[in-house]
Every structure is written in structure tokens, then in C-alpha cells.
Amino acid sequence: MKKYIVITGASSGIGAAAAKAFAGRGENLILIARRAELLQSLKDEIAQIAPESDVVIKICDLARSENVLALWDELKSYELKALINNAGFGDFGLVGEQDLQKTVKMIDLNVTALAILSSLFARDYKRKQTQLINISSVGGYFLAPGVVPYCATKFFVSAFTEGLSHELAQDKEAKMQAKVLAPAATKTEFGSVATGDADYDYDAAFKRYHSSLEMAEFLLTLYDSDACVGAVN
């Protein structure tokens, strides 16, 4: 039976770069996001560069937990080897001055969807040679003023995943590994989504930043290693 790597938030940025990098290794992929046209063009691109890789796309708004649960039911017809919870977004602004609806949606995606998918993956795949990689952030280890709610969501991601990793290490029957990738600034759609500025300028905002291609390579290095945390600075 074919085995698949699931990547959420695969329509742009780090997720799309990771999808191409895993496809380059011949891996079969299930790619999830809301924007169908971007996922379809990524699937077409992978068919050109890695025709042996089977790519399934699933359109899903993961900020709604009922969708997350329905998605997991759909994934039951596939055998999974890894789940990469990458979908997430930032919300820049001072607490009390931010768009609360956006903050709630961010928590629904960055925290709730990730917790549900990680838990269901552990329930169904803990005893198999599998990997869960959750994308946190440097902000999951460092609280920065002006990005506090976002950092708090990523503290959850880091704590949950590292805690699960310890739990798995103590469970003699568990073969699953749980890992955290904690990217530093990476040029993607993240800046525009976090600030609401479609012209967000990474050069003006950061002295140095990574490309999504570099971040995908860090992700593959983490995938190949036995480390629990892949922190990047």
C-alpha cells in the first residue's frame, strides 16, 4: 500500500516548498489548504518534476474544527507515514488593539486544528514508524512585544509537541516520533497575512531572512534526524 506524507498549508510558502522537496525524493503527498487553484498548480508542477510522486489535494478550511474532523475521516482511506502541521498565520498588533476575530481564527488554526490533527495522528499511528512534525516558530520560544498572541499560539505548538515527544519516548510500544521545526523569519506570504499589508517588504523588516526553499531543506534535515527540535536562526 502506498504511504503518504500529509502537509497542511501547502498552497504557499514553506508548505509548498516542502511539498516539492519531498516530491523530489519520490514521496507521495496529501496537500491541504483552502486555495484550490494554488494546490492544483503545485500538483501540476510536481507532476512535471517528480512524476513518480502521487499527489492528492484536499481543500479544507482548517480554522473550523468540524472540517478538521471531517478531513481526518477522509484521510482514513490512505496509509500515512508523516503529518506536517504547517498551516498557520501571524497576527501583528498590540493586545487590546488587534482585530479580535483574526486572533480567534489564528488560535483556531495554529492551536486547535494542530492539536486535533496531532492527537488523531497519535491515536491512529503511534505504534507505526511515523513522524509528526509541527511547525512552531522562533516565536514559540521567545515572546516579542507586538506579536504576543501569535507567539502564545506557537508556545503551545512547541510545548505540545515536545511534551508528546517525551511521552512517546516513555512508551515502549510507540514508534512514532514527534518533532518541532521553529523557523526564524522566512520570506513567504506570512508577512502580508500577519500585517494585512499586501506589499509587506521583508528587506525593510529584517536584516536577514530565509527563503522558503532553505526552510524546506531544514525541514528535510529534521525529518532525517532523531532530533526533537529543529530551531533555526
* Residues within the interface to ligand NAP (CB under 6 A): 9-15, 33-35, 38, 60-63, 86-90, 109, 135, 137, 183, 185-186, 188-190, 193
Q: Which is nearer to ligand NAP, 41 or 129 (CB)?
A: 41
Smallest separation, CB 159 to ligand NAP (Å): 15
Bridge-based pairing of strands 131-135 and 79-85 is parallel
Find the DSSP H helices in 94-201. Answer: 100-107, 114-125, 148-170, 190-195
Distances (CA, A) of 223 to 18, 36, 229: 11, 27, 10
Q: Which is nearer to ligand NAP, 126 or 218 (CB)?
A: 218
Give the dihedral sign, CA 11/14/20/25.
Answer: negative
Q: Is residue 31 a contact partner of residue 39, using CB atoms and an 8 Å limit? A: yes
Smallest separation, CB 161 to ligand NAP (Å): 12
Smallest separation, CB 14 to ligand NAP (Å): 4
Find the residue with minimal CB distance to ligand NAP: 13
Smallest separation, CB 189 to ligand NAP (Å): 3
Q: Which is nearer to ligand NAP, 137 or 161 (CB)?
A: 137
Smallest separation, CB 16 to ligand NAP (Å): 7
Q: Which is nearer to ligand NAP, 126 or 187 (CB)?
A: 187
Q: Which is nearer to ligand NAP, 23 or 174 (CB)?
A: 23
* SS3 assignment, position 118: helix
Q: Is residue 218 a contact partner of residue 138, using CB atoms and an 8 Å limit? A: no
Stretch (H or E) spanning 218: helix 212-224
